[in-house]
Amino acid sequence: DVDVVAELIGGAEGPARLTVSRALENRKPVVTANKALIAIHGAALACTAQEAGVPLMFEAAVAGGIPAIKTVREGLAADRILKIGGILNGTCNYILSVMHETGRDFAEILADAQKLGYAEADPSTDVDGIDTAHKLAILAGLAFGRPVVFASVYIEGIRRIGALDLQFARKMGYRIKLLGLARQHENGIEARVHPCLVPQDASIAQVNGVFNAVVAEGAFVGRLMLEGRGAG
């Protein structure tokens, strides 16, 4: 009697993976916001969905309210995407933004983010860059037409960024942002997540708080940036 299954459990294994797999095998459409599941098992689940003749939808798995998946799959379908990425974790962006504005340290801002509901009780997935990497792997796989092996993504978070780092960056005319960056080479896909120095006058440097920004660069359309709410 089930018309559609909406999975919001989280995690790449366990009940989340089992629920989605069984639903697709039983020819039930699935909607999921589970970025870890799609990043690691998305290709296999997509094959199961295709064989069953039902949709697997995961727009909410990347960048909150930004229609990033639809833009890549449909809006840019006629273009050849060269690069994709951006600010993909609102928690980290909030922490870095407040550190930049106030000069306070990482641990203090993280505690505030947890009280506001922007960060989990265990914030490691966010602040260690894993959440950003999940979303980047999904975007890169769609943009370049081939699955990204998640274990091959370089990941570095923001735990080691201190107030002094942001002060030096400001003096040099930069902001520090945690970015996910992916591009296609002749020999494969390069995908990496790490803090970056971004010129203060760059559009992405103006994306602050819990907002996300997805940037795609196409051979014909050039650079396209979508900005919107990502956390909370």
Total domains in the chain come to 2
Co-location of 117 and 165 in the same domain: yes
Q: How far apart are CA 91 and CA 131, in angstroms?
A: 10
Residue 231 confidence (pLDDT): 61
Q: How far apart are CA 114 and CA 150, in angstroms?
A: 27
Q: Which of 28, 35, 115, 135 is catalytic?
A: 135
Q: What CATH number does residue 84 fall under?
A: 3.30.360.10
Q: What is the pLDDT of residues 142-193, one digit of tens each?
A: 999 888 889 999 999 999 999 999 999 999 999 999 999 999 888 889 999 9
Mean pLDDT of the region 10-35: 95
Helical (H) or strand (E) element with 40: helix 35-52
Co-location of 78 and 29 in the same domain: no
Q: How confident is the model at residue 121 (pLDDT cuts 50, 70, 90)?
A: confident
Q: How far apart are CA 112 and CA 108, in angstroms?
A: 7
Co-location of 115 and 30 in the same domain: no
Among 14, 34, 61, where does a domain finish? Answer: 61
Co-location of 20 and 76 in the same domain: no
Q: How far apart are CA 103 and CA 170, in angstroms?
A: 11
**For the chain, percent helix, then strand, then coil, each to nearest 5?**
45, 25, 30
35 is catalytic: no
Co-location of 51 and 101 in the same domain: no
Residue 86 pLDDT > 80, yes or no?
Answer: yes
Co-location of 107 and 41 in the same domain: no
Co-location of 110 and 224 in the same domain: yes
Co-location of 167 and 192 in the same domain: yes
Co-location of 25 and 77 in the same domain: no
Q: How confident is the model at residue 2 (pLDDT cuts 50, 70, 90)?
A: very high
Q: What is the pLDDT of residues 91-116, one digit of tens each?
A: 999 999 999 989 898 988 999 888 88
Among 45, 61, 77, where does a domain finish? Answer: 61
Co-location of 88 and 43 in the same domain: no
Q: How confident is the model at residue 84 (pLDDT cuts 50, 70, 90)?
A: very high
Residue 116 confidence (pLDDT): 83
Co-location of 72 and 54 in the same domain: no
* Range of the structural domain that residue 57 is part of: 5-61
Determine contact, residues 105/164, Cβ cutoff 8 Å: no
Mean pLDDT of the region 44-65: 93
Q: Quick one: DSSP state of residue 140?
A: H
Co-location of 92 and 203 in the same domain: yes
Residue 230 confidence (pLDDT): 75
Residue 56 pLDDT > 90, yes or no?
Answer: yes
Among 16, 33, 61, where does a domain finish? Answer: 61
